[in-house]
Amino acid sequence: MTAATSWTWEYDGYEPADERLRESLCTLGNGYFATRGAFPECVADEVHYPGTYAAGCYNRLTSDVAGHSVENEDMVNLPNWLALRFRRPGGRWLTPDTATVLDHRQVLHLDSGMMERVTRYALAEGKALFVRQQRFVGMADPHLAVLRTEFTAEGFAGALDVEAALDGGVTNSGVARYRDLDGHHLTHVHTGSSAPDTVWLRCRTRTSDIRIGMAARLTADVPVTERLEVSRAVQRIHLDLTPGRTATVDKTVALHTSHDPAISDPLDAAVDRVDAASGFDDLLKAHRTAWDQLWRRAEIDVPGAAGRILRLHLFHVLQTLSPHTADLDVGVPARGLHGEAYRGHVFWDELFVLPYLNLHFPEVSRALLGYRHRRLDQARAAARATGRRGALYPWQSGSDGREETQELHLNPRSGRWLPDHSRLQHHVGSAIAYNVWRYCEATGDAEFLHTKGAEMLLQIARYWADSAVYDEGLGRYRIQGVVGPDEYHDAYPDAKLPGLDDNAYTNVTAAWVLTRTLEVLRALPEPRRRELLERTGLDGGEREHWDEVSRTLHVPFHGGVISQFEGYGDLAELDWDGYRKRYGDIRRLDRILEAEGDTVNRYQASKQADVLMLGYLFSPAELQEIFSRLGHRLDQDTWRRTVDYYLRRTSHGSTLSGLVHGWVLARARRAEAWTFCQEALRGDIADLQGGTTGEGIHLGAMAGTLDLVQRGLTGLATSGGALCLDPVPLPELSSYGFAIHYLGHWGIQLRLEHGRLEITVPPSDLDPIDVRLPDRSVSVQPGEMRRLMLPG
Ligand code: BGC
């Protein structure tokens, strides 16, 4: 990567080993679909992977692995619309692997959502071909993508053959670990043409039967011929190049699927759309305007290298979850629409994404919560299947909300397929409840809170209350047989059954969900409360029981610290230095130990923040209050000791871990905070999790870093109808500004600098904003700017 402006992301030279990573980081998308930043002249192989994914487009297949038949639902790699190759007549197609690359440069323009690449290919006898391409995936029209290619002959005059295609012969093969699994998701591939310059391809997914229509228009100053193959719709042109004169070829592509609203047939819709599409310049203009508007709503201004990375993170968050997402029935895919890792599934990662979106794109947050609400019945069925009432949301969710977590996972280090118990992470339900609550706090959306929000809260709370078992000896309720956020621990050593007891994170968040739900029920307008109680059969007795459970869930402690789960403190200590010395990178300690014939379950060694997640979700005051309700005094010393304890026992095998540690340590005013913030900032750009970014970005960590500035450092909370701020100093990130959308005010500007807060509320006829600092409260009128010194 080379130095660049704060609005570009640039790569110089062709580096096959980096290509997968660049493709992920140069992915272009619009919340409806995305395409990896691959070379159009290259097909999928060991180096290149030109994937295209539409949000929510999944397909389920059964494969045989390790003697088991396993079913997996995957986000489908759609036909490759990008394909465009070129050669001198009679010569080989030019690719960076088959021809000599004299220069190569790739620039991602974050401001306009456009990728530009320039490559000079060496030809025989000192000649060269200069290729410049610009591409974008429409932010104005989410069904369109455009690729402009300019060819310039250097040192020769002569012909160039250009071939563009829609290629339906693709499979899901972007993740090496999944290659034993069936990746053939597309069937009934047909091609055709609808105009002299337009071809189309249609197909459907094998089991989910989603129909896909694509159409491509090729525009050049020369005639276009077509060849329709079984799975490829090919268009060809023959250019006569002369030195100094650039020949331009535009490929405009439309994509529709049968999930789209307001269409009758995806192919007809794609053909019509491409037919009606204007030329490159007009499309780009509209696309730029759409991006300008997004940047205005999500403005963040942080100086230096951190600011540049944050902008890239924001760019990818917006490409995965844009206002176009608000019209779709989709969740937050953990790895963006950028690759096939985790199969496009939806985990608890929305916990790191929605709090950021709430203050910029509340309509997107609401839609993402809608995805969960539509799957409430499925979650209730899952709870029933475990013999409990309420809703048990799946650890991994896809199309219909059933549990999509794989049964087996491969340890690439040992080559063994192992049982996967991560589905026992029932805490995902609390993440959904937390997001409902924070969304409603930030937006004041009482309508949502009183309807869908209350319905989800009620059923999630009910599941927790029904899961809690009273222990006479302890005189407390316990939740047993679960897995916490640290997925390294999925069982007690030598236990026959998976699952752990009294995971502190699970129990404390469950207690919080129960308390908040009771609060919401009390505050519901009477007619609505009656409706809800009638529909769910929730009576006074059950609510009393919830109240009791919310006060008496067991939170284990040992040696003066909160235990991750009952018995964590009895596990063996790991020889951290020894393992670091032997293996260097020990982030994936679970795989290392399993390959050694051992198991991480025997050790006090965590993959990621688990107990410390509590300090990420709740302010110190909130946390003290929750603990106090549970009958514990959580003083600063206990929290500090707990932070120290887990800091020494965490391998950070998830990108979420650095983020949470950075956040928690900054609040604890600890010097190490910046190291972890940097780990979170560099997670994807430097591919810190060892090759995983090439399989898709880590969306939770990316959005989390934005929220680290927005809520972590500022202590911004939107409770009680006021904007509460309690900034913590982080010397390395001490001046920043951003704009938020809050209680109907568009573009409230906040800037923190030199121990001073500047807040500007845009003119409107709305109510003034109540701003609460630790030492005072002020009211800021629309149209007013206030400067406030922060307490030292
Ligand atoms: C983490 C989970 C996360 C998942 C998807 C895993 O490595 O441990 O917490 O939800 O990745 O991002």
Given 3.30.1360.120, 2.40.70.10, 1.25.40.10, 2.60.420.10, which CATH number is that of 713-792? 2.60.420.10
- Please state the atom number of ligand 1 nearest to the C-alpha of residue 486: 8
* Phi–psi pair at 115, nearest 5 degrees: -110, 135
Q: What is the spatial distance between Cα 607 and Cα 588, in angstroms, rounded to a whole number?
A: 8
DSSP conformation class of 303:
-
CA–centroid distance, 513 to ligand 1, in Å, is: 22
Token pair, residue 38, equals 């691959």
CA 459, distance to chain mean position in Å, is 26
CA–centroid distance, 655 to ligand 1, in Å, is: 8
CA–centroid distance, 436 to ligand 1, in Å, is: 21
* Segment 114-123 mean pLDDT: 98
The pLDDT, as a whole number, for residue 299 is 86
Q: Return the best residue to mutate from 347, 409, 425 for the ligand 1 pocket (most ligand atoms within 8 A of CB).
A: 347
The pLDDT, as a whole number, for residue 727 is 94
Nearest CA to ligand 1 atom 1: 654
Q: Are strands 723-724 and 769-773 parallel, antiparallel or unpaired?
A: parallel
- Please state the atom number of ligand 1 nearest to the C-alpha of residue 349: 10
Q: What is the spatial distance between Cα 705 and Cα 251, in angstroms, rounded to a whole number?
A: 36
Q: What is the spatial distance between Cα 506 and Cα 509, in angstroms, rounded to a whole number?
A: 5
* Segment 737-749 mean pLDDT: 94
Task: For 222-277, write each residue's pLDDT tens digit.
Answer: 999 999 999 999 999 999 999 989 999 999 999 999 999 999 999 999 999 999 99
pTM of the model: 0.97
The segment(s) of the chain belonging to CATH 2.70.98.40 are 8-296
The segment(s) of the chain belonging to CATH 1.50.10.10 are 301-712
- Please state the atom number of ligand 1 nearest to the C-alpha of residue 699: 12
CA–centroid distance, 673 to ligand 1, in Å, is: 22
Q: Return the best residue to mutate from 349, 432, 503 for the ligand 1 pocket (most ligand atoms within 8 A of CB).
A: 349
CB 620 within 8 A of CB 639: yes
Residues whose beta carbon lies within 6 Å of some atom of ligand 1:
334, 342, 347-349, 485, 487, 607-608, 654, 656, 700
Q: What is the spatial distance between Cα 389 and Cα 462, in angstroms, rounded to a whole number?
A: 6
Which class is 301-712 in CATH? mainly alpha
- Residue 66's pLDDT band, with cuts at 50, 70 and 90, is confident
Nearest CA to ligand 1 atom 11: 654
**Is residue 721 exposed (0-12), middle (13-18) or buried (19+ Cβ within 10 Å)?**
exposed
What are 62's strand-pairing partners?
71
**Is residue 82 exposed (0-12), middle (13-18) or buried (19+ Cβ within 10 Å)?**
buried
- Please state the atom number of ligand 1 nearest to the C-alpha of residue 607: 8
- Please state the atom number of ligand 1 nearest to the C-alpha of residue 700: 12
Whether 487 is catalytic is yes
Task: For 606-645, write each residue's pLDDT tens digit.
Answer: 999 999 999 999 999 999 999 999 999 999 999 999 999 9
Q: Which residue in the list 226, 487, 566, 679 is annotated as catalytic?
A: 487
Is the confidence at residue 315, as pLDDT, over 70?
yes
Of 679, 616, 678, 685, nearest to 651 by C-alpha is 679
Mean pLDDT for all residues in the chain: 96
CATH topology of domain 8-296: Beta-galactosidase; Chain A, domain 5 (2.70.98)
CA–centroid distance, 590 to ligand 1, in Å, is: 14
CB 606 within 8 A of CB 489: yes
Task: For 336-367, write each residue's pLDDT tens digit.
Answer: 999 999 999 999 999 999 999 999 999 999 99
Percent of the chain with pLDDT over 70: 99
- Please state the atom number of ligand 1 nearest to the C-alpha of residue 487: 8
Nearest CA to ligand 1 atom 9: 485
- Report in angstroms the alpha-carbon separations of 323 from 255, 626, 689, 698: 18, 35, 30, 20
Rounded to 5°, the CA angle 370-373-378 comes to: 140
Helices (H), 584-728: 589-595, 613-617, 620-629, 636-647, 655-667, 673-682, 699-707
* Segment 721-740 mean pLDDT: 93
What's the N-to-C CA distance of the chain in angstroms?
39
CA–centroid distance, 721 to ligand 1, in Å, is: 33
CA–centroid distance, 43 to ligand 1, in Å, is: 30
SS3 289: helix
- Report in angstroms the alpha-carbon separations of 390 from 416, 476, 516, 536: 36, 21, 16, 10
The pLDDT, as a whole number, for residue 65 is 86
Check the CA dihedral 513-523-358-394 and report its sign. Answer: positive
Q: What is the spatial distance between Cα 776 and Cα 772, in angstroms, rounded to a whole number?
A: 6
The pLDDT, as a whole number, for residue 7 is 94
Q: Secondary structure of the chain: what % helix, strand, coil (to 5)?
A: 35, 25, 40
CA–centroid distance, 55 to ligand 1, in Å, is: 19
Q: Return the best residue to mutate from 395, 430, 487 for the ligand 1 pocket (most ligand atoms within 8 A of CB).
A: 487
CB 179 within 8 A of CB 146: no
Nearest CA to ligand 1 atom 7: 654
Q: Return the best residue to mutate from 406, 654, 702 for the ligand 1 pocket (most ligand atoms within 8 A of CB).
A: 654
The segment(s) of the chain belonging to CATH 2.60.420.10 are 713-792
SS3 38: coil
DSSP conformation class of 510:
H
Residue 359 is which amino acid? Answer: L
Nearest CA to ligand 1 atom 6: 654
The pLDDT, as a whole number, for residue 4 is 58
